[in-house]
Structures are given as C-alpha cells and as structure tokens.
Chain A
Amino acid sequence: MYLVRIALRNLLRRKGRTFLIAGILTLAVLLFLGLESFMIGFMDVSFGNIIDFETPHIEVGREGYFEEVKKGRELPLEETFTPDEDLVGEIEAREGFVALTPILDFSADFIAGRYQFPVRVRAIDPESFGNVFRNSEYLTGGEFVESGDPGIVIGRELARFFNLEVGDFYTLRFQDIGGSFNTMQGEVRGIVNVPHPDMNLGTVFVAKDQAQEALGLEEGKISQIMVRMESRDISREEAKNLSGILGNGDLTVRSYREAAEILVHLETWGFIETYFILALFLLVGAIGIISVVVLAAIERVKEIGMMKAMGLKESEIVRIFILEAGGIGAVGGLLGCLLGAVAVFLMKTYGIDMEAFFDLGEFGVPMVGRIYGVWNLISFFLIFVFVIFLSMVASLIPSYWAARKDPVVAIRDR
C-alpha cells in the first residue's frame, strides 16, 4: 500500500508537469472519443440511408449485372432474370427476413424541355416496394408510383435541375432489349426528398409493368430482388448463407456493405484516421511520460538511494515509478473520458451540420444534414484502460533506469 501511496503523492510534487502530460493524454482521449462517436454516427446514418433508399440489407441478382454496375457501365438488360418460387421461398426462409421486392433498374436519359440528364430508372412493384424501402415516406408533393400508370416519381434535385413540378411532362429515352431506342412519356406523379443525395438527383421511379413493356422484356423479368431483414447484424451472415444455398448458379447475393463499397472504404479510412490521430497524441503523451519519469528519477536520486538502503528491491522501486505513470494516465484518461462524454452528449443532442462545411453528396456520401454522435461506452472503458496501460508501458525503461542506480552513488548525490 505504501508503494501506491508514495506513487500517488509523488504525482502532486510536480503538479504542472503531471497535469501537462495528463492534459496531452486528455486531449488524445477526447479527440478519439469525439471522432469515433462522430464516425459511428456518420456511418450509421450513411449505411441506414443506403439500406432505406438504395440497396437494402440483401440483394440478389446476376453476377454479370453487378459486374457491369461496378464498372459504371449502362445497366445491362440482358442480365435480367425471372425469379422462381424456390428462390423466393429460400429468401423468405432466412432468419430475420422481413420483406422482399423485385426491382428492374435500367439506364436512360431523362428529358424535359430542351435538356437531358442520364439517370438510373428504378422500375418497382408498387405493392411491395414500401415494405422494403422508405422512399415513399419522403414525398414532398404528389403521389408515389402506381401500377398501370406511366407517371414517375423523381427526386427533388432532379426536379430543381429541370424546374419541374408535379403534373409536368417528362420523357425517358432508353434502349430496349433489342437495342432499339424507345421512350416513355407521362407526367411527374410525385417528388421525393430523401436524405440520400444520389437518390434525389440520379434516380427515377416508375411502375415495373410500364417499364417491362417499354423495354420489351418478358413479364416478370427483373434485375434484382431486394430483401429487408430485421437488422444489419444478421444480414451479412444470412447473405452468406443464401449464397451458399444458391450454389454456383449465375445468381449472386450481396449484402448492403458489398453494395456500398465506397462507403465501406470511407469507413475504413475514417477509422484509420481516427486511430492515427489517437496514436499521434498518445505518442506525444508517451514521450511526455518518459520525460516525467526520467526527470523524477534525476530529482529523486537520493530518495531512490535511501529506499535501496532501506532494503527495497529494484522491482519495488520500478513499481513506484510505473504506478506514478499509471496515475498520470488515469488522470488523463479520466479527464478525457469526462470531456469526451460531454462532447458525445452535445454531438448526440445537437449534431453537427455537415452541410455548413461542404456538400457530402459531392463525395458520394449517401447523407445530408446533421450527423449525430453515438454513445459507445465500451470505447470509454477501453480507451481509459489503454491510456493507463500505455503510460505504464512507456515508463518501463526509464523506471528500470532509475531503479538500477547504484545506491552508494545515489545516496550521496547532491
């Protein structure tokens, strides 16, 4: 107990030094907790938007189709397929299955007046679409797509671009399955404004029956089956299971993460950046700890000598210095966690308006508006323990250096 008591009281002998190093550690912990909370919140909303508005938990389609999509080419009509009952049955049998809806995506030019703009046309089954996607909940005017109606729903940004309102006329120009150019014409039935920039500008919704006819496709031909699951956690596992069941056929199963490759990369780099910043600050903190122990050892040479004369082993003297370093780490970690909790609370309550800084949509990020922080209590615990551990490890070598001082020399140091 005395070793702990000496170590703790030693912390207050050079308060300025102790709190300077603890302050650096505090900053490291605060930045880490804040950035991590921000990143988790950011990714949570972004993946949520992907799932709710673009690609749900699982999608099933032909491998060739996904390859063309990945290459950024025109969406290939020849890679469409007709789902059979067995396939639908297997999907519905997945654990955590909620709903599915067929989708037929194809490329077209959206034309209104003298202007045209390349879009992805998403031909949907209006009856089941709302069970999987939430786009229809974000109508700002008009109605959503209905079967048998050539009317379309467009995003707010596309409507702004063409200065269109509900009831205005549109033309979609595309190549049908035979390669001939064809058009669809009708009225803008509704305008949506979803928190996913790409869906507001580059995607047009139309009823599947209308699109199949215009594309010259057989009835029932689709490009993907979109599947909503109970949660994200099970979707990757179930996507794998379903993929195993489908075997080596030409259908491929993807989870939302595979569909959102850019976002996954962004997530990886975001967290790497967060850990890099943490590592930088901790490195400065560790160097600070080393300096503190070295300076303390130089200042307390006589004390070390006396302790050795009293019969303390080197390992016990090392323990005092390591406990001191751990104490600095604990102060820094605790202050960092407290300030981090305040920062996360503020971020969770008020959020950060990213639009005030830049347009996330331009970076391919599927979100707009505020990013709200997320509590990750396990991070608070882990970073606190880690900072203490790191401080102790950083002090090891200087502690041994201090403890190995020759008592004969140390005790008579002036």
Chain B
Amino acid sequence: MALLELEGVKKVYGQGEVKVEALRGIDLEIGVGEFSTIFGPSGSGKTTLLNLIGALDKPTEGSVRLNGSSIGKMNKNKLAMLRRENIGFIFQDFNLIPVLTAFENVDFALKIASKNGVKTGEKAKEVLEMVGLGEKLNRRPRELSGGQKQRVAIARALVKEPKLILADEPTANLDSDTAQGILEIMLRMNKELNTTFIFSTHDPRVMEYARRLLEIRDGRITRDERRE
C-alpha cells in the first residue's frame, strides 16, 4: 500500500508575468519502508517537492495524499498535527534548538507528538544511544560537532516513530566519513523500524545507499529507478 501518493502535482510561485513553475505535473507513489532519493540539478524542484511531501506547503494543482489524507484540504493546524504525528525532518543545517541539550531536543520532539501521560525520557535516551550519542545527552548543540548535530537531528526525527522521514541534503555539510556514518545509521533505522526515508540530494554517496532513485528536471520526474 502506498504511504504517499502524488497526482498531477503542480506548484507555481509568483503571479502574472513573474510566474515560476517549480513543479509541472508530478505523479508519484511511495510505499511504506522505501529508502528513496530525489536528485537533480539546482533549481530542478527537489526542495519544492520535498516541501509538498512534508506538508510544509500546498500544491497549486493536483493532490498530495499522505496515508490517505489529502493535505490540500487541511488548514494550518491540521497540517501541523499531520507533521507532528507522521513526519520527521532532517535538514542539512541540522536546525537544532540551540537552548536545549541533545537529550532535550529529542525529548521535545517526542513530547509534542505524544499523548499526555506517555513517559518520553527513556525513549529519547534510547534513540540517542542508537545513534551513538549516549555519552553526549547533556551537551548543547554548540558543544557538538557537525556529525554529532546531524545524529541528534536524526534521533529527533526518528524518536516519534514517524511513518515518513524527509531528509533535505542531510550530508551536505559533513565530511565523507561522517556522512557515511550518518547514512548507515539511517539505513539501519529504515531496516529495523521499517520507516520510509526520502532524501533530496546531489551527493553521489547518498545515491549509492538509495533503493529507489528519482531524478527530477525542470519540475518533472525524468527517471524512476528501483534497485535491489
């Protein structure tokens, strides 16, 4: 069963003569547990597509359905709830909350997604240990290296066990060894938890790990290749 369905999705920015068509009709289905990469040159529409999949934005035309729910019909609060419960984000700039420790960043993400009364602390610790940061729980982001920050971001995305994790160029700011370590963690999580991962990237190292390659050019998917 498809976790994500996009039908005839178009996204246009601006109005009148300064209209920019970022996506020109995307049809796509992504199933549960996939480990996919969206790649393509700068300005091809990768980030726009990721924003729509992540319910951060709405399509100008067409429909985006996550788990059967169409995001086009949702108001801001419903979209927020959808993201809170179903989607984890990983960004190239990590985007951790600087005033919270590694543990608190992860625990916070879990707390807002959990129902009242759920004990969250243990689970946050467990996930941080899974990504190899068991010893750095109380460090603030400024006290962590780039790789460690990205691992906190992964833990934060994973901790609430979302159906979908979206990673926008997650290795762009990392050196090769660290990037490889991060990708292996994500692959492991994908296998162990059956979480669906979608990356946008133009880093060939990421593409090597992907089980499905989606190439996008000029707002259209020009290649959809599955690997074993």
Taking Cβ atoms with an 8 Å cutoff, the residues of A that contact B are: 1-2, 5-6, 9-10, 13, 302-303, 305-314, 316, 407-408, 411-412
Contact = CB atoms under 8 A, between A and B. Distances in A.
B220 interface: no
Contacts of A312: 80, 84, 112
B99 A9 contact: yes
Interface of B: 47, 51, 54, 56-57, 76-77, 80-85, 87, 89, 91, 93, 95-100, 104, 107-109, 111-113, 156
Nearest to B76: A314
Contact of A408 (B57, B83, B84, B98): B57
Given A2-B104, A411-B95, A313 B77 contact: yes
A311 B112 contact: yes
Nearest to B57: A408
B99 A6 contact: yes
Contacts of A305: 95
Contacts of B82: 311
A40 to B, nearest CB: 43
B43 to A, nearest CB: 14
Contacts of A5: 99-100, 104
Contacts of A411: 56, 91, 95
Contacts of A2: 100, 104, 107-108, 111-112
A6 B97 contact: yes
Contact of B80 (A6, A9, A10, A308): A308
9 contacts: A2-B111, A5-B99, A13-B98, A13-B99, A303-B97, A309-B89, A313-B76, A313-B77, A408-B56
Contacts of A306: 89, 91, 95-97
Nearest to B88: A310
A310 B83 contact: yes
Given A310-B112, A313-B81, A408-B56, 13 more contacts: A2-B111, A5-B100, A9-B99, A13-B99, A306-B96, A308-B56, A308-B83, A310-B83, A313-B76, A314-B77, A408-B51, A411-B91, A411-B95
A311 B56 contact: no
A302 B89 CA distance: 13
Given A2-B108, A310-B112, A311-B112, A302 B84 contact: no
A40 B85 CA distance: 58
A5 B100 CA distance: 8
B2 to A, nearest CB: 22
Given A2-B112, A10-B99, A310-B112, A407 B91 contact: no
A9 B51 contact: no
Nearest to B140: A9
A227 to B, nearest CB: 65
A313 B80 contact: yes
Contacts of A303: 95, 97-98
3 smallest A-B Cβ distances: which pairs? A311-B84, A9-B99, A306-B95
A308 B87 CA distance: 12
A355 B105 CA distance: 63
Contact of A311 (B83, B96, B99): B83
Nearest to A308: B80
A207 to B, nearest CB: 81
B221 to A, nearest CB: 20
Contact of A309 (B54, B76, B77): B54
Contact of A407 (B56, B93, B99, B107): B56
Which of the listed residues A306, A309, A313, A411 has the most CB atoms from chain B within 10 Å of its own CB? A309
Contacts of B84: 310-312
A411 B50 CA distance: 13
B80 A311 contact: yes
Nearest to B52: A408
Contacts of A407: 56
Contacts of A314: 76-77, 80
A302 B93 contact: yes
A412 B168 CA distance: 11
A311 B81 contact: yes
Contacts of A308: 56, 80, 83
Contacts of B57: 408
A57 B100 CA distance: 63
A60 B104 CA distance: 74
A31 B81 CA distance: 47
A309 B83 contact: yes
Given A407-B56, A411-B56, A311 B113 contact: yes
A305 to B, nearest CB: 7
A93 to B, nearest CB: 64
A304 B204 CA distance: 31
B100 A309 contact: no
A223 B185 CA distance: 100
Contacts of A9: 99-100
B91 to A, nearest CB: 7
A306 B93 CA distance: 11
Nearest to B91: A411
A181 B108 CA distance: 94
A31 to B, nearest CB: 33
B113 A6 contact: no
Contacts of B112: 2, 310-312, 316
Nearest to B48: A408
A310 B109 contact: yes
Contacts of A302: 93, 95
